[in-house]
């Protein structure tokens, strides 16, 4: 059975793209799980993490991105082609154990989303617009072990499409006041307003630095979990390193890269951080299976 996980936070800049991309790479290349990364963000950062801009532009010019699926809903057409839109085997690690595929996004998605709001209360005989993904691509996802969705920094129609096709979701945060402030509001809106009640696997701590602020925020989040006043906090964190921000830039080797080249060496390596976090995510999923 495919495991589908949305990566979401209402605040931007917390590392949703970085975390979903890293987890996708490790699930595929190191754990041998056939994985699909779906980029739902019109900023297309997940897409450009794995694909050169000219390769992406060729698909975008031919309307071979996820945006065409939502455009079809508006135009009442059937132009979206899942197989032709996929970038196959985008793994960065050399000699991967599994395959990582990518369904790219497009900046067009931003304008399309605005038009989709016209159909929220008036779908005109069609499915509600927040079920477009679930209605149209569910059958294709059964070919994968894991599907990861990188959602935009909001809970608009596109993000809700991702959540409504997902089995689970995670919330990446930077352990500071602004990045964690909206967690409760996000959960309240999902559960009470949008009636999206899929399990939250946990909060992922990203860009961690051993500072008083970061440690204090993590201590507070952990205490809330302990006393059942907050969600699970993943034990393994992703530290702030130069290699973390460099990951999207590794495009140039036709042979692929070693983990050291991608994640750094010695004390500065985040390889063990990513491996341990991925294993922990798999463990959390298995509790529900």
pLDDT at 274: 94
Kindly give the pairing relationship between strand 100-103 and strand 3-7: unpaired
Measured from the Cβ of residue 250, the count of other Cβ atoms closer than 10 Å reads 16
Please check whether residue 126 is in contact with residue 135, taking contact to mean a CB–CB distance below 8 angstroms.
no
Domain count, the chain: 1
pLDDT at 242: 63
pLDDT at 196: 95
Tell me which DSSP letter residue 276 carries. Answer: H
Q: What rounded mean pLDDT belongs to the chain?
A: 93
Mean pLDDT of 121-128: 88
pTM score, two decimals? 0.95
pLDDT at 33: 97
pLDDT at 122: 86
pLDDT at 264: 85
Q: How far apart are CA 247 and CA 96, in angstroms?
A: 17
Mean pLDDT of 121-140: 93
User: pLDDT tens across 264-289, in order?
Assistant: 888 778 899 999 999 999 999 999 98
Kindly give the pairing relationship between strand 168-173 and strand 200-205: parallel
pLDDT at 267: 79
User: pLDDT tens across 192-209, in order?
Assistant: 999 999 999 999 999 999
pLDDT above 90 for 57 = yes
Portion of the chain with pLDDT greater than 90, in percent: 80
Which structural domain, as residue segments, surrounds residue 90?
A: 3-288
pLDDT above 70 for 118 = yes
Where residue 97 sits, what CATH number does that domain have?
3.40.50.300
pLDDT above 80 for 243 = no
Q: Cβ contacts of residue 125 below 8 Å, gap of 6+?
A: none
In the block, residue with structure tokens 């967690």: 183
Mean pLDDT of 62-78: 97
pLDDT at 265: 84
pLDDT above 90 for 26 = yes
Mean pLDDT of 73-93: 96
3-state secondary structure 131-181: HHHHHHHHHHHCCCCEEEEECCCCCCHHHHHHHHHCCEEEEEECCCHHHHH
Helix (H) or strand (E) holding 209: none
In total, the chain counts a number of residues equal to 289
Portion of the chain with pLDDT greater than 70, in percent: 99
């Amino acid at each position: 059975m495919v495991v589908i996980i949305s990566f979401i936070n209402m605040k931007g800049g917390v590392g949703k793209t970085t975390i979903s991309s890293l987890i996708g790479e490790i699930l595929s290349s190191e754990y041998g799980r056939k994985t699909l990364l779906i980029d739902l963000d019109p900023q297309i950062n997940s897409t450009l993490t794995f694909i050169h801009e000219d390769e992406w532009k060729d698909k975008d010019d031919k309307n071979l991105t996820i945006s065409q699926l939502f455009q079809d809903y508006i135009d009442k057409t059937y132009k979206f082609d899942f197989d032709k839109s996929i970038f196959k085997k985008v793994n960065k690690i050399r000699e991967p154990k599994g395959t990582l595929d990518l369904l790219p996004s497009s900046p067009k998605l931003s304008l399309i989303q605005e038009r989709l709001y016209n159909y929220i209360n008036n779908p005109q005989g069609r499915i509600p617009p927040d079920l477009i993904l679930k209605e149209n691509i569910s059958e294709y996802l059964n070919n994968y072990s894991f599907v990861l969705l990188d959602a935009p920094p909001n809970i608009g129609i596109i993000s809700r499409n991702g959540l409504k096709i997902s089995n689970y979701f995670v919330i990446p945060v930077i352990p500071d006041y602004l990045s964690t402030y909206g967690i409760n509001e996000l959960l309240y809106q999902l559960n009470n307003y949008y009636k999206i009640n899929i399990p939250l696997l946990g909060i992922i701590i990203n860009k961690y630095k051993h500072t008083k602020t970061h440690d204090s925020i993590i201590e507070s989040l952990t205490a809330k979990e302990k006393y059942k006043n907050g969600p699970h906090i993943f034990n393994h964190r992703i530290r702030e390193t130069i290699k973390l921000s460099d990951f999207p830039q590794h495009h140039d080797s036709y042979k692929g890269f070693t983990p050291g080249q991608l994640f750094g060496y010695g004390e500065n390596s985040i390889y063990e951080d990513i491996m341990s976090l991925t294993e922990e995510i798999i463990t959390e999923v298995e509790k529900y299976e």
